[in-house]
Chain A
Amino acid sequence: MTIALTLNGAAELVAAAPATRLSAALRDACGLTGTKVGCDTGDCGACTVLLDGAQVCACLVPLAQAEGRAVTTVEGLAATPLGAALQAAFHAHGAAQCGICTPGMLMAATELLATTPHPDEAQVQAALGGVLCRCTGYRRIIAAVLAAGSATTASAAAVLALGTATAPLAGAVGAVGESIPRLDGLPKLNGTERFGADDAPADALWLRPIRSPYAHARFSIGDASHLPVRLLTAADIPGRNGFGIYPDIKDQAVFAPGLARYRGDCVAALLGERAAVEAVRWDDLPITWQELPPLTATAAPGGPALHERWPDNILTTGRLRSGETPPPATHIAQGEWTTGFVEHAYIEPEAGWAERHGETIHVHGCTQAPYMDREEVAGVLGIAPEAVRIIPSACGGGFGGKLDVSFQPMVAVAAWLTGRPVRAVWSRGESLASSTKRHPASIQASAGCDAEGRLTSFEFEADYDTGAYASWGPTVAGRVPVHCMGPYRLPFVHSQARAVLTNNPPSGAFRGFGVPQAAIAQEMLWDQLADAAGMDRLEFRLLNALRNGDTTNTGQRLDHSVGLVECLEALRPHWHALRAARRTTGRTRGGVGVACMWYGIGNTGMSNPSTMRLTLAPDGRLTFHNGAVDIGQGSTTVLAQIAAEALGLPVSALHMVLYDTGLTADAGKTSASRQTFVSGRAAQAAGAALRGEILRRANAGAEARLTLSDGTLRVNGEALRLDSTLEGLGSYDPPTVPLDADGQGIPYATYGFAAQLAALEVDMDLGTIHLQKIVAAHDVGRAINPLLVQGQVEGGIAQGIGLALMEEYLPGRTENLHDYLIPTIGDVPEIETILIEAREPLGPFGAKGIGEPALVPTAPAILSAIRDATGATLRRVPALPHRVLEALRGH
């Protein structure tokens, strides 16, 4: 069956069934993978295309209804002045981070500007309200659309000159501190970026996991010979049927052998030609289930063991003891707080493919941690890591959720066994059910201060529901006790966090590793104490803030780069202005909240090295070999800026070889806010090393000026002839000291600091919250690229808003993006970002990290503002309207 339509201005005959979703037809039959599939339910808008000029979710349009009509996709945009103007504006404003929602955003904006050339912000929000973005916080997107609307002319040529990841922007210097647009920007704007689901050999087999619909169940798998496809099970795993983040904890099976421990646990997989796989129904499966009672977080400690290894279901306990006895306190505050599961909701579900090459295997797809994936795949196949090559695709958002393997071991096993390429694409529902989550926390905390408001003590005990498997549970339980008192001077801290195993989804890494939950308790206690002491809440924090020269509760002396005081002082005028402007009577009442945070950059008391490499070939080709995965946060651009600056050449001189374990050294995972700091230092070292090699050969002094043009490197104007390739290798591992049993040590080489204000209004009759403004002051050491840093801050705040106000994953209940709510374009208010640069001597050009710090203070600042407006303290997030109203009435 073929259906005739006009595609991006040209006649097209599409060979597909009439009921085929237009999104699938465009991608599979027409090869236009710029249209992304994020949900197949019309909830995310990633697949937005224009149908006769009107934006539609292509996943909800049967191909038959496109017959005879004009379909415009992102691939057709650059050819139109309006499309080109939008692409250029998105690029210049940093409106695309990971790029997975960008095609949808661009198409929605195209519809708007075609009819409303000069929209206002409300019109932009209404037009783009159907496209979800998880990275940017939307503010850059709004700015870009407004700018494109005000641009009088734009040319496609301007966009085509934007550069690509491997051949950067012509002429860009990209000095450290310069807000250059991202170097890998163009493919995200024109539909050519290849994410996990966009690329696979045409003859690849299709793999579809079978997952437990029960939170806890025994099962047996019978004869599967009646199925038209192969059923892979635990018996098919050639190596170790287990994976997990820690080298000694491989507790999660690729295919569970007889016992499913959470709803979504993978028990088997269908493998075959796609149509045959997609025809198999649940009732065809030869699986017999025996449902067992599930363990919840309250029943798990001491309950029947989920894993033999942890008889009491306590995976890890992290603790910190600092101070013998607390000084006398005049004021005491205490409270309990609970948080729910939070889903990463990256708009790109997990996807990728594997192919066997003799005795080696290549695995392609989205990931945050290629070298860790290599270890996992090798273990599961029972081969050496060197026999595994991980080739990351573009990653459509991660936020910690793509640190754990998902499809990788399965497609690798299938490809290994069959010798055929094998691909897998999770649906949104599968992604939600199977992937890791932010740990729900149940926190009890208390604190005291003296009459002058000086903190005297902080005690914190929390159970973090770590779900059915270890994943990053130990990391969370380790990080929380050292962060939970926040960036303050405290003479006495007792803290403890337990990771509790339950029959819930595995809780893993999610932007902040448990710290955002803890920060809620910490900051709410400060508000109570400040009120008790009769102090301004911001001044209370300022009084107690850590300063250079202070010693933390882990016994670490911080001599540099403690920029919290500067953050709070920068916020002070905003604080007073916002507080003065708030409405204090009537149906809606205004409140302003403040919260601070600190965040250790890199792994907790553990080695986490990175290696970067620069080469200069005799033909003058300068190549930056960068293994740090850019998941949208901008490391490809930032690390290039650092390397180029250290070398003394513009970024435009760099060719890039990006993250591929076959081509790039281990830069470590993209997590823990570490790439700018750790890989940045490695990039700086690589740049300096290559510069040293060049200067040595040219016999030039340290201040020599390098230029590179037409394949010739010149040192102070003199051409340098090379007969072999020069190399600059740089490695960095931040100096830490492991924590002892009392949490004493040097867990991190450096910390990010921040303070944020939230201004909002509470509807006193409905309990609804209207955010008005966030002001965020972040000490980033040095902003290598302020535009990208601002993007991280805004995106982190959007996720903090979600944590505070709407996000709660309930297994079996919110397994789609209309029941699981993340902020839309209308839910993120104006954000004013203030960058504080308290230089970190260890960091590259003084820089630290920003990825996670951006999120941590937002939820507490929002709760602080609700309390300011109403007097009510929220004990549970998300602060859904009915919970807010309950709190108001209980107050």
Chain B
Amino acid sequence: MDGYLRPRTLDDALAMLAATPGCQVLAGGTDVFPARTGAEVWLKRDNRPLLDLSGIAALAGITETATGWRIGALATWTEFCATQLPPAFDGLKQAARQVGGAQVQNRGTLLGNLCNASPAADGAPPLLTLDAQVELSGPAGGRVLPLAAFLLGNRRTALAPGEIATALLLPHPPEGAMGGFMKLGARSHLVISIAMVAGTLALEGGVVRHARLAVGACSATAQRLPLAEAALLNAPPDPARLLPEHLAALTPIDDVRASAAYRRHAALVLLQRLVESLA
């Protein structure tokens, strides 16, 4: 590899990124290195310089703020799981425990998972149901995007040249909100989802007052399902209220893991079970 940059401050990182066109940002490495390996099989070598964020202390950690939680770009899945958080975050924690094996959970970062922008990113559905926002830093300053606006497609994000994703911002969840996550794959560990669902529900007096449902691996990016959410509102949590037409926005594909039709079906079954489990 031709270059390796390991800045100690964000300003230095941004300056290096500006000065080194085409360099690739690295945090935990759990997506960067596998992609390089895959290319090397057919001698398509990826020699882009690496900009390693791991030395930037300001990007580490998970902190509570006035408005919610700030998950630094270097925060790993394991770190997240070890953080005391309200039950609304349980879905994201369940996802965290199913990202790769323990080795990947110890190294991979929540934000890196989003920057990699796989349609099957385990973090995306639960983060969508937590109304997560992505903090971006660039030469002209920072901006904050809702997660749905950050994830543009398969392996595409809203990161502009020269920008670095520096944190995930999670608002305080509604009072009493509960979170859940379900992942379906062909084996028990180390598996890329066939489909996965996440949800956050808050009930008042047995009636759903807040609903967020999202599905991953069934379209180019994970999606929230506003129709399904609306169907649950203002009624007791009832899986039967979720109908196939609520999933019409999904665009699943046929691939080695499953058929499109199966994915669409499974997503609904999983959503219904999720609602059942959160009721």
Contacts and interface: CB of A to CB of B under 8 A. Distances in A.
Contacts of B4: 17-19, 62, 64
A129 interface: yes
B40 interface: yes
A803 to B, nearest CB: 13
Interface hub of A427, A766, A816, A886 (most chain B Cβ within 10 A): A766
A493 interface: no
A221 to B, nearest CB: 15
A880 interface: yes
Contacts of A62: 4, 26, 29, 50, 52
Given A130-B101, A810-B256, A880 B33 contact: no
Nearest to A822: B187
A620 interface: no
A140 to B, nearest CB: 18
Contacts of B100: 42, 130
A264 to B, nearest CB: 10
B158 to A, nearest CB: 26
Nearest to A826: B188
A61 interface: yes
A825 B189 contact: yes
A886 B266 CA distance: 12
Contact of A427 (B41, B97, B106): B41
Contact of A56 (B50, B106, B192): B106
A187 interface: no
Contacts of B172: none
A57 B107 contact: yes
Nearest to A806: B186
Nearest to B265: A885
Interface hub of A39, A131, A814, A821 (most chain B Cβ within 10 A): A821
A427 B37 contact: yes
Contact of A885 (B37, B101, B262): B262
Contacts of B107: 56-57, 60-61
Nearest to A817: B190
Given A18-B6, A880-B258, A885-B262, A130 B103 contact: yes
Contacts of B1: 17, 19
Nearest to B54: A65
A143 interface: no
Interface string A804-823: 01101010011110110101
Interface in B168-199: 184, 186-192, 194
B43 interface: yes
A281 interface: yes
Contacts of B54: 64-65
B242 to A, nearest CB: 13
A388 B29 CA distance: 44
A40 interface: yes
Contact of B192 (A64, A210, A427, A818): A818
A54 B100 CA distance: 15
B187 A282 contact: no
Contacts of B37: 39-41, 59, 427-429, 816
A213 B42 contact: yes
Contact of A768 (B3, B78, B184, B259): B184
Given A64-B52, A108-B102, A429-B38, A282 B44 contact: yes
Contact of A821 (B33, B42, B187, B269): B187
B123 interface: no
Contacts of B190: 43, 129-130, 132, 818, 824
A51 B42 CA distance: 31
Contacts of B41: 427, 429-430, 433, 815
A341 B259 CA distance: 19
A785 interface: no
A827 B104 contact: no
Contacts of B143: none
A328 B44 CA distance: 63
B137 interface: no
A129 B97 CA distance: 11
Interface in B191-243: 191-192, 194
B145 to A, nearest CB: 28
Contact of A882 (B44, B50, B259): B259
A285 B40 CA distance: 14
Contacts of B45: 278-279, 281
Interface in A779-820: 805-806, 808, 810, 813-816, 818-819
A54 B106 contact: yes
Contacts of A429: 37-38, 40-42
Given A17-B4, A62-B29, A766-B266, 10 more contacts: A17-B1, A18-B4, A39-B37, A55-B106, A62-B50, A129-B102, A430-B41, A766-B184, A805-B186, A881-B258
Interface of A: 17-19, 21, 39-43, 45, 48, 51, 54-57, 59-62, 64-65, 108, 111, 125-127, 129-132, 210, 213, 278-282, 285, 427-430, 433, 765-768, 805-806, 808, 810, 813-816, 818-819, 821, 823-827, 878, 880-882, 885-886
21 contacts: A18-B4, A21-B33, A42-B104, A55-B106, A60-B103, A60-B104, A64-B4, A64-B52, A125-B189, A129-B190, A132-B190, A210-B43, A281-B44, A429-B38, A765-B269, A816-B34, A818-B190, A827-B188, A827-B189, A880-B258, A882-B259
